[in-house]
Chain A
Amino acid sequence: DAGITQSPRHKVTETGTPVTLRCHQTENHRYMYWYRQDPGHGLRLIHYSYGVKDTDKGEVSDGYSVSRSKTEDFLLTLESATSSQTSVYFCAISSPGTGNTEAFFGQGTRLTVV
């Protein structure tokens, strides 16, 4: 494994509640990413980080916020969960531009909003 852990692995939450997913790495990669996987849509980028406190939006960022206060941790927050945010969420880490281009993925978090 590439030293990446997502927590929790499964979560059921109610509409309107805030939810935070955590991604933790032990590999010191500069970049961290949050994706969601949905049938027919593949993997879509939500937000990513290219350094501590440096983040940017992906293609489906509405309703999500992120924070990266240290290299190891990248948090994804759903401010007020909606049923459309029911999905499987994947975190990825990488160091592109250094000659090592592959991204390593976590095991995923299955989130159900009821």
Chain B
Amino acid sequence: DQQVKQNSPSLSVQEGRISILNCDYTNSMFDYFLWYKKYPAEGPTFLISISSIKDKNEDGRFTVFLNKSAKHLSLHIVPSQPGDSAVYFCAAISGTSGTYKYIFGTGTRLKVLA
């Protein structure tokens, strides 16, 4: 049962335009969400996060939006650059059992075309 879902396996965007990556979750008890970027043959690296008490968080070209009622979050990259081409994972922190686990989606491969 996939608690965190990324329904778009891939996305292509022209350089300079906006990239929008989407993520849905099923567990309303998740209270923190993160986005990671992964290049081939490297480990995932943290990009940006958002607490469930907020609906937006910005860091430079990256903005994450959270819609709790829809159980949906999105990552906006503006403007997109060729170096942004990577696989992006969204993740949620589950702490309902008293310990903390990071639950990841299946990833979206972003290709930014020069």
Contact = CB atoms under 8 A, between A and B. Distances in A.
Nearest to A38: B106
Interface stretch (A14-22, A61-69, A72-80, A90-98): A90-98
Interface string B81-114: 0000000010101010101111111110000000
A32 B82 CA distance: 33
Contacts, number: 64
Is chain A's interface secondary structure helix, strand, loop, or mixed overall? strand
Nearest to B45: A105
Given A42-B105, A101-B34, A108-B43, A50 B99 contact: yes
Given A44-B104, A103-B34, A104-B46, 11 more contacts: A33-B102, A41-B106, A43-B44, A45-B103, A48-B99, A50-B100, A94-B100, A101-B93, A102-B49, A105-B44, A107-B42
